[in-house]
Structure 1
Amino acid sequence: MPEQRVEGATHEVAAFSSVNEAVRAYLHNLNTGDAYNRLRTLRAQARAAGKAPDPIALAGGLTRYSERGQEYIDDIRSIIRTNRRLMRAPAEG
């Protein structure tokens, strides 16, 4: 439970031993949680159209990930743009 959680709130936080572990948990959450159906729909539509899913567009499916709403989406899009050069496509095979 967060130390400074607002009274009446029910969210919790998790601690991870590595960035990779945190990212893996985040991706699992996005790929399984009901709140993220919109993201998965956007991804499926892109794939059905023969296109690679665009992370900037997919971020728009995260409206229910954070109570911050659009502000969270804007932050995620900024992080993607800033770190795009560090990202790489999965190996083909």
Structure 2
Amino acid sequence: MASLSLTPATLAMLLVGCALISSLITLSVVGLAVKFRLWPALERHIDQRLELAANRLEERLRRRVSGLAKDLARGVGGLVVGRRGREDDTDPEA
């Protein structure tokens, strides 16, 4: 059997290879943890925040539209009453 001699270059290459494999395993474990554990929790949190913001925006928009409708109704009512008032003013003179 031939003896195995490790030169400094071979030893360095083996150490670098082991370090790369170790890093790959670590990154794989962290990636799986993020994908299956942390990411769904983050998505739920973001969905809740977006739903809350959408509800607030919808409520503000609803109030704005109803306020504009009331203002429009008052404006149209004022125009109608104003015209009747003018018509009433012209009737006694006629």
| Greater share of helix | 2
Greater RCO, 1 or 2 (C-alpha within 8 Å, sep 6+): 1
Question: Same fold by TM (over 0.5)?
Answer: no
